[in-house]
Chains A and B, each alone.
Chain A
Amino acid sequence: MADASALLEVEDLQVHFPLRGSFGARLVGKDVGAVQAVDGVSFSVARGEVLGIVGESGSGKTTLGRALLRLVDPTGGSIRLEGEDVLGLREREVRAMRRKVQMVFQDPHASLNPAMTIETAVGHPLRIHGITRDRADIRRRVSAVLERVGLSPPDQYLSKYPSDLSGGQKQRAVLARAVILSPSLLVADEPVSMLDMSVRAKILELMLGLKSDLDLTYVYITHDLATAKFFCDRVAIMYLGRIVEIGATEEIFANPRHPYTQSLLRAIPDPDPSRSIPRDLPRGEVPDAAEPPLGCRFHPRCPKAFAPCGWEARDLHDMLEQRWAAGGQELFEAERLQLGDLAGLDQPGSHATVPSATGTGADVATLLDQIREDDSRERIWHGIESITPRPGGAVIEFHPGHDPVLRPEGGAEVACHLYNPELADPPGEAPPA
């Protein structure tokens, strides 16, 4: 698996943030769970390549970027930079490593120390790493790099403070600071999303120029597929801590395979006047990373989900809520009365009991059947194996769910059961297109 030309190799990276439970729970040592920000991510980046990490909020992309610089400490997996293991380094060695990998942050208005002049700020890496302390030398180097990023003439900017600069100029200064030590790898976290449209192109062009001049490698983190398509050689799509699809840019965009990727592409607003607002988008939002959905994490929102995707009690609860939201008050009140306390449906689990308010499970079963009749297109019905009435409620058995893994498919790798021949084959389970 080790690739000689790979600059960066990440394998099965895990970053879990433990949740602070109540005092009592901590006292007793009860595990209150963790936010699984990054949950088993693997990829490699070749020298000179631009890899895009695309995801929405909650996807873990920002945490991943920080983990690459060890600004947060991973709880599992490995990161190798130029063949060297990053996670085993001690604090002092980590700081030395930051000569080779640098970061550009999202908010240009907050990334520069308001109390430092541009000269001091951009030149600070030189002092920090002991490259030089001679003030004249620092000034020379800072001026050279300012010129390179387009803040020209440099003399005009050396004694300015960040508050004197515009957003684009600040981002240029941040880039200057990041490249002054000629790092090998630059992690850019949404470098242009807070800038105006007409400025974004300038900064991206600058970044491309720097890449070729300084032989840089980029990991470009963004939620904007359009800039990723333009800027990156390869793209990885992240959802809730996992990579769901990864491959060469042309392949991913010409032939998106994962339903999430397909939805993202359809949803991007485009000033093309012939487009209109897409319908049938995945509903709902990115769920809580502390209690992610079972099986495939996208399944509650996926328009193509089917049996093995990991259906569970919470999906049933969501489906009922959506039905009542859309159906009107009378429907809500009529159906709600027949059911008991639904709080038990909020735990992940492969079977669930829907309690009855009337005491007989048969009523609940009938209601559920009727709901299925009403709207059989709801994906959850692919995942319910049986509804069995019992005294007090109905027991729902879900089809066992499986975690999808990245498999090669065409020119890309996709983590989706639709492309898994073992799971997608059985007749009757084949998903409609």
Chain B
Amino acid sequence: MASQLIARAGRAFGPVREARGVPRWIVWAGIVLTLLFVVMALAAPWIAPYEFDQYKDASGQRFVKQQAPSSAHWFGTNVQSTDVMSRVIWGARTELKVVLFAVVVSLLVGLPLGLLSGYFGGPVDRVLVLIMDALFAFPYLLLAIVIAFLLSDKFGSGVATAAFAISAVYIPQYFRVVRNHVVSLREESYVEAARALGARPRTVIGRYVFQNVVQSVPVIATLNAADAILTLAALGFLGYGIQPTDAAEWGYDSSRALSDAGAGIWWTGLFPGMAIVLLVTGLTLLGEGLNDVLNPVLRRRKMEPVTLPPRVPREDEA
């Protein structure tokens, strides 16, 4: 069973390996950048020199406030005397935690809804599409703020709240993509054949439709993740996201760095900002690259250059 899964994953990965030219570089650049931050997030306890909210060192001495980058603090310190680099590294963990949570929740809600809505159609489908389109029409940031606000009343502002707020915003996306794909697959011969075999709708959806729909998910998920990070950072920037005492968060740090900029303190804003840019770029490259590589419509049959061998004189030529 495991070997079958590995074999199947290997098959799915095939197009990535076979990619040539520009799409290949895009995918691999995306993979590298994203992995960089994933490693950073996972290894945070070991590579961050200090805790994210640590403002004094082991001996109890307070760090210098807003100190420029130095050997003790590679990225300098901020107004609360915490080490910028540590906050960037711990921040990676926060970002990825929240985004992973958000993507998973969105998928868990949006995917099945899209599957069922697309396959069965009818009034349920029409109603759901209407709701999802309405949600989709909202400016997503506004929606996230409203939801975060409402949830923070009940659950306090923390990682979970931010994650829920973001997932709610992205559910319509997954729903739409999955539902549309299912609607087009529903008419395929092999789906009808499955029904003709006597399969229950559950089996038809699970084994025949889902397996072919799921191909489009990685692309949407990575692009969504990129977007989600921006949303999270925006929430943090505006003060509706994660509070500094809960975890390090790049958006929040950037907002605090605003006032520093006038005083010529550049390190408090530059590094968190760059982190946001790099991670989002990495995820976007990965998503777009995957799209170019996996999407059979976009995947141009790469013509290998071929040279005709000189004409072999056939028997009837002198």
Contacts and interface: CB of A to CB of B under 8 A. Distances in A.
**Do A and B share a direct contact in the complex (Cβ within 8 angstroms)?**
yes
Interface of A: 69, 71, 95-99, 102-103, 105-107, 110-116, 124-125, 128-129, 161, 174, 177
A116 B207 contact: yes
25 contacts: A69-B196, A71-B196, A95-B198, A95-B200, A98-B197, A103-B193, A105-B189, A105-B193, A107-B189, A110-B188, A110-B189, A110-B190, A111-B189, A111-B190, A113-B190, A113-B194, A113-B208, A124-B194, A124-B199, A124-B207, A125-B197, A125-B198, A128-B198, A128-B199, A128-B200
Contacts of B211: 113, 115-116
Nearest to A117: B4
Contacts of B193: 103, 105, 111-112, 174, 177
Interface in B169-214: 188-190, 192-200, 203, 207-208, 211-212
Contact of A128 (B11, B192, B203): B203
Given A114-B212, A115-B211, A116-B207, A98 B198 contact: yes
- Which residue, A71, A97, A114, A115, has most C-beta atoms of chain B within 10 A? A115
Contacts of A116: 207, 211
Contacts of B199: 95, 124, 128
Contacts of B207: 113, 116, 124
Contacts of A102: 196-197
Interface string B204-248: 000110011000000000000000000000000000000000000
A240 to B, nearest CB: 23
A130 B36 CA distance: 49
A174 B198 CA distance: 15
Given A112-B190, A113-B211, A98 B203 contact: no
Interface in B135-173: none
A99 B197 CA distance: 7
A124 B197 contact: yes
B194 A96 contact: no
A262 B199 CA distance: 42
Contacts of B200: 95, 128
Contacts of B11: 161
Contacts of A105: 189, 192-193, 196
B190 A98 contact: no
Nearest to A135: B1
